Amino acid sequence: MKLLFDMFPVVLFFIAYKMYDIYTATAVIIAATIVQVLYVYIKHKRVEKIHVITLVLVVLLGGLTLILQDENFIKWKPTIVNWGFAVVFLGSHYIGQKPIIQRMMDGMIGLPELVWNRLSWLWIGFFILSGVANIYVAFNYDTDTWVNFKLFGLMAMTIVFIILQGVYINRHMQDVEPAPNTNDTEHSTDKNDTTK
């Protein structure tokens, strides 16, 4: 559900482009992103950093697209976002105790340290690859192809990567020993006492 909510401005961008043109679509994605961030803030009284970063980039690059009538600015947005995440994930290896992926998911699943590090590097690689793929499609194909790729291609890449990540995580979850249950210890002690 969250993925669909996050994709809401991109879907409206796609629809507006198909009905009108790239400039109308750019105006629509700017408005939709502003509405999205306002909705999150009103509902939760806070906004995730990803939404704030996306809003700033959409307004900046979308604004330049509209003012200069140059669609190349909006085409750079997915790459800048993905490479920005790559930098943040990379930086988390050197700032703080744990990679950012571990900080985000540590409470939900237990994995060995080596697996957390590998996962982080996989995400870094994925973000870099997504950025490169966007640039390649944006500047080697027509705008129609890029708009289709922006919605369907990048989404498909993300879904496939998340599925593969899930398979990888599942393979290594059993590597972490569960914390001893104090109730079990007490029961086993009681049993030992009765047999004496």
pLDDT for res 4:
61
At 59, the amino acid letter reads: V
Rounded to two decimals, what is the model's pTM? Answer: 0.79
pLDDT for res 185:
47
> d(Cα 35, Cα 64) in Å, to the nearest integer?
20
| Per-residue confidence in pLDDT tens, the chain, 196 aa | 566 677 889 999 999 999 999 999 999 999 999 999 999 899 988 988 888 888 999 999 999 999 999 999 999 999 999 999 999 999 999 988 888 888 888 778 888 888 899 999 999 999 999 999 999 999 999 999 999 999 999 999 999 999 999 998 888 875 445 445 545 444 444 444 444 4
pLDDT for res 187:
47
> d(Cα 126, Cα 119) in Å, to the nearest integer?
10
> d(Cα 55, Cα 62) in Å, to the nearest integer?
10
Residue 67: HSE in the Cβ half-sphere, 13 Å Cα cutoff: 7
pLDDT for res 77:
93
Tokens representing 33? Answer: 């992103």
pLDDT for res 190:
47
Q: Which residues, other chains included, contact 23 with Cβ-Cβ below 8 Å and sequence gap of 6+?
A: 65, 66, 69, 71
Tokens representing 179? Answer: 């914390």
pLDDT for res 6:
75
Q: Which residues, other chains included, contact 84 with Cβ-Cβ below 8 Å and sequence gap of 6+?
A: 53
Q: Which residues, other chains included, contact 175 with Cβ-Cβ below 8 Å and sequence gap of 6+?
A: 111, 112, 115
